[in-house]
């Protein structure tokens, strides 16, 4: 297991500047939140690659800005829109191959979307097949306003995807859906390959690790016992912390927990 930070935590810094800031802080394991399709190629991609190389960054995963589009496109009955977003997502997968990222974070359909479970599974597995030649694994994130916010839906995916379903466990999203993240670990923990970490306390559900009350050591121990060996990456909203140094401090707290457990 490793610890790190998502560039989403530095929004609205441009992606290459967010990576540079994390590199200067001494963070080495990162998730790239792609904020615009232009970042997947050309001069911007070359700049991103240059920063990655300069600071020796390990890019674990990629998260698309287009997540809110997935309901209307990927999980739509309108076939042209399905093909449109698949073409877009191929560009993400090419980007991931170029920066060495292996995990693609999927939000999926909104909870009130008119998408049946069989359709959802079919589209998810199709995306998995398309991503595979690029070395990318699609991982479903639990998102409280999406179908994936419900544990029963995650269990359905695990069962119906024939062992191919992989998951991102997001702590704040679990709490917003009314679950302890341990509930999700108990339900699909052996298929969790990635963690989005944020601490919480009364009145604040997305703060730096150590600024809240959540027992992360218990969660990481539980996942470790189920075979988890992925990355625990801090993902905060910019209003949830003060100085950028808090990102490195949180990452270090997570790293020390992991070292203790392993």
- When computed from its CA atoms, the radius of gyration of the chain, rounded to whole angstroms, is 17
Q: Tell me: the pLDDT tens digits for 93-143?
A: 999 999 999 999 999 999 999 999 999 999 999 999 999 999 999 999 999
Residue pair 82/69 in contact (Cβ under 8 Å)? The answer is no
Distance CA 39, CA 75 (A): 24
Question: What are 50-105's pLDDT values in tens digits?
Answer: 999 999 999 999 999 999 999 999 999 999 999 999 999 999 999 999 999 999 99
List the alpha helices (DSSP H) in the chain. Answer: 15-25, 42-55, 79-99, 117-131, 151-160, 171-176, 181-188, 216-225, 245-261
> What average pLDDT does range 202-224 have in this prediction?
96
Write the CB contacts of 129 (distance below 8 Å, at least 6 apart in sequence): none
Provide the pLDDT for residue 81: 98
In terms of DSSP bridges, do strands 58-64 and 231-234 run parallel, antiparallel, or are they unpaired?
A: unpaired
Q: What is the pTM of this model?
A: 0.97
Question: What percentage of the chain reaches a pLDDT higher than 90?
Answer: 100
- The pLDDT, as a whole number, for residue 262 is 86
Domains, in order of start, for the chain = 2-261 (3.20.20.150)
| Alpha-carbon span 129 to 131, nearest angstrom | 6
Arithmetic mean of pLDDT over the chain:
97
């Amino acid at each position: 297991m490793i610890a790190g930070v998502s560039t989403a935590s530095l929004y609205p810094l441009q992606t290459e500047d967010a990576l540079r800031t994390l590199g200067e802080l001494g963070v080495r394991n990162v998730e790239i939140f792609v904020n615009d399709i232009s970042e997947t190629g050309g001069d911007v991609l070359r700049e991103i690659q240059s920063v990655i190389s300069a600071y020796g960054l390990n890019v674990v995963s990629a998260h698309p800005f287009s997540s809110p589009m997935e309901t209307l496109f990927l999980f739509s009955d309108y076939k042209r829109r399905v093909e449109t977003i698949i073409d877009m997502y191929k560009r993400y997968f090419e980007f991931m191959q170029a920066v060495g990222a292996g995990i693609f974070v999927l939000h999926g359909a909104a909870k009130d979307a008119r998408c049946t479970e069989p359709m959802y599974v079919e589209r998810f597995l199709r995306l998995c097949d398309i991503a595979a030649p690029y070395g990318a694994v699609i991982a479903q994130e639990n998102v409280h306003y999406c179908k994936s916010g419900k544990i029963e839906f995650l269990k359905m995916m695990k069962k119906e995807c024939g062992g191919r379903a992989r998951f991102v466990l997001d702590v704040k999203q679990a709490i917003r859906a009314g679950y302890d993240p341990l509930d999700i670990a108990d339900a699909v923990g052996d298929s969790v390959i990635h963690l989005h970490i944020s601490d919480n306390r009364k009145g604040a559900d997305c703060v730096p690790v150590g600024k809240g009350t959540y027992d992360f050591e218990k969660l990481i121990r539980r996942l470790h016992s189920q075979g988890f060996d992925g990355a625990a990456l801090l993902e905060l909203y910019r209003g949830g912390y003060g100085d950028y140094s808090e990102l490195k401090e949180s990452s270090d707290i997570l790293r020390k927990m992991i070292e203790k457990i392993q």
